[in-house]
Amino acid sequence: MRFDVVSLFPDMFSAVRDLGVTGRAHKQGLWSLGLWNPRDFTHDVHRTVDDRPYGGGPGMVMMAEPLELAVAAARAGIAAEREPPGDIPVMLMSPTGKRFDQAMAQELAHGGGAILICGRYEGIDQRFIDRNVTHEVSMGDFVLSGGEIAALAIIDSAVRLLPGALNDADSALQDSFNTALTGLLDSPHYTRPEQYHGVSVPAELISGHHANIAIWRRQQSLALTAARRPDLIAAAREAGLLSKADEKFLRSLGGQAK
């Protein structure tokens, strides 16, 4: 998999390229990263990438051309690496986009990667978006000062799903939101010591009884999801992912399971 990022702050991407699970996966060659700074695609001495908004108002707007030339360079880089390059999603980080979720991360992990566009300032000239962008993606209903943190989150969430990225292949399966399994929230985790400030690890987890442990985890997931994200319970039910035992347990929770 290959990600290409168009950003005024390419240094920020050392965080995913060099550290942790994604850093190790990068070293293993599971994914590669191309960084393209729109400033390198300007023609004036000030290397201008932004200008004032037409119609007035505060702030500055990123100009279309340096971004478009950066995308073209990214495409050429991808084509040099794999022939044919195939359809490459061009994803704009934007608070007005579709909310990013685990299903989108899974889709990306199954594909060849994407070109990620990071805005800064007030935003980006709409003509660049209309001509180049295939998807607009939001991290949530809040405003970041740039698209970099959104792009980092997307890369991290997709790369950790690549076969071989996580030490234990099953751990991604147990994560929250995994649509292949249940789409529920993950159950709580405990590690040593067995007693911590007078609180002990739940008895089921130290019982050594695998079936009971699985039931405990499942019920914790169901209870947590019912309390915090009833929408995910409804979606799992609709997708046929809840067993008779799950439904019985949810009914036993009473009001909070509705």
Q: What is the dihedral of CA 111, 238, 136, 86, to 10 degrees?
A: 20
95 a catalytic residue: yes
246 a catalytic residue: no
Q: Which residues are annotated as a binding site?
A: 119, 139-144
- Residue 9: exposed, middle, or buried by beta-carbon count in 10 A (0-12, 13-18, 19+)? middle
Edge-to-edge strand order for the sheet containing 61-62? 50-51, 61-62, 123-124
Among 71, 133, 139, 250, binds ligand SAH (CB under 6 A): 139
Whichever of 10 and 147 has its CB closer to ligand SAH, that residue is: 147
Whichever of 5 and 139 has its CB closer to ligand SAH, that residue is: 139
Catalytic residue selected from 10, 38, 66, 95? 95
Among 122, 156, 175, 186, binds ligand SAH (CB under 6 A): 122
| 94 neighbors 117 (Cβ within 8 angstroms) | no
Which residue is at the shortest CB distance from ligand SAH?
119
| Omega within 30 of 0 (cis) for the link into 193 | yes
122 a catalytic residue: yes
| Omega within 30 of 0 (cis) for the link into 53 | no
Whichever of 38 and 147 has its CB closer to ligand SAH, that residue is: 147
| 190 neighbors 202 (Cβ within 8 angstroms) | yes
Please enumerate in sequence order all residues whose Cβ is within 8 A of that of 182, keeping only pairs 6 or more positions apart, or say none: 221, 236, 241, 242
Binding letters toward ligand SAH, positions 63-102, x by CB under 6 A: ------------------------------xxxx------
Binding letters toward ligand SAH, positions 142-181, x by CB under 6 A: xxx-xx--x-------------------------------
Tell the smallest beta-carbon distance from residue 210 to ligand SAH (Å).
41
186 lines the binding site for ligand SAH (CB under 6 A): no
Alpha helices for the chain (secondary structure H)? 14-18, 20-27, 64-81, 102-110, 126-132, 148-159, 171-174, 210-228, 230-238, 244-253
Amino acid letter, residue 255 = G
Separation between Cα atoms, residue 177 and residue 160, nearest integer Å? 14
Whichever of 156 and 204 has its CB closer to ligand SAH, that residue is: 156
| 163 neighbors 99 (Cβ within 8 angstroms) | no
Whichever of 37 and 94 has its CB closer to ligand SAH, that residue is: 94
Q: Which residues are annotated as a binding site for S-adenosyl-L-methionine?
A: 119, 139-144
Tell the smallest beta-carbon distance from residue 46 to ligand SAH (Å).
21
Which residues lie near ligand SAH (CB under 6 A)? Answer: 93-96, 118-120, 122-124, 138-140, 142-144, 146-147, 150
Residues marked active site are found at 95, 122, 160, 175
